[in-house]
Amino acid sequence: MSNSIKKRILLSHILALLAMILLLGAYTLKPLFQYKDPVAIDEEDAVEENFSFQPFEFLIPEDVEYYAPPKQLQELMGEKIYEFQPSGFYAYLIGARTMPVWMVSLEAPQYPKAAFPDGIPVYFHFTDWSGKANEMNTINHYIGMNPMEAGAVTLRRTIPFVFLTFFVMLIVYLFYNGPGWWLLGMIPASFPWLYLGFFSKWLYWFGHHLHPWGAFKIKPFMPTVLGDGKVAQFTTHSYPTIGFYFLLGIFILLTFSVLIRRKALKDLSAINSK
């Protein structure tokens, strides 16, 4: 094997390792990027607690308290909502510290800039969310929309296993050169587009499953995925945030890794066939 081919394969491996670091960061760096209210009274008030993180029951300690959601939502949310706030290493292990990937905020005259400089923001993480989640649910209730906790329940619970699968695939990718080796890199590389697809699907679901309990009657609609929009008297903003840029970094690194390695292996095959 020539030095040129060796260097290209080494570069491919380095790019893949950098992608693995970004993947690990996306799974664990919530404490650095979690939304904090800029006008909070104190540090305790800066981060709103909610129970949007609901892993599979076998990951929840037996002594955790729970309550039942409204009957009309139990089919979507299950019969138990656990008052679960994991801490320490266990929280990182089971996916309670994932980064924010997308931000949605609402602005309206009844929310003055002095008190709500960011409007009513919610930051969607891979497994839960941060920001003004309770206020957002209250607003959604007025138009008959389901609470955010009702969306993608099973999907969010599988996220730790998705990250684990992708991480294992990339480890194998570093050492395997057999048939279909490139899939081990390109499947994890597709993460940002998978996320965007599921995010759009669930926004559509929320906008098309409105209930008659809403004080304001509006027609089913597609919430804005990217950009600014208008719902009733609210101006909406929907944009990617730091976690999605991590995913884009993974996509770019792995795509280049696969292309560089593919060319190197093709050149090596040509040399060996002579």
pLDDT digits (tens, 9 = 90+) for 1-43: 688 899 999 999 999 999 999 999 999 999 999 999 998 888 8
Q: pTM to 2 decimals? A: 0.94
Beta sheet of 234-240, edge-to-edge order: 129-131, 120-125, 100-107, 234-240, 227-231
* DSSP secondary structure, 100-111, as one string: EEEEEEEE-TTS
Check if the beta carbon of residue 12 is closer than 8 Å to that of residue 264: yes
Rounded Cα distance between 155 and 61, Å, is 21
CA distances from residue 43 to 28, 33, 37, 150, 161 in whole angstroms, order as listed: 21, 15, 9, 29, 33
Write out residues in the chain with pLDDT < 50, as ranges: none
Q: Is 180 helix (H, G, I), strand (E, B) or coil?
A: coil
Check if the beta carbon of residue 226 is closer than 8 Å to that of residue 203: no
Q: What is the pLDDT of residue 231?
A: 82
Span 137-174, pLDDT tens digits: 988 888 899 999 999 999 999 999 999 999 999 999 99
Q: What is the pLDDT of residue 10?
A: 95
Rounded Cα distance between 131 and 34, Å, is 8
Q: What is the pLDDT of residue 1?
A: 64
Phi then psi for residue 98, to 5 deg, are -80, 155
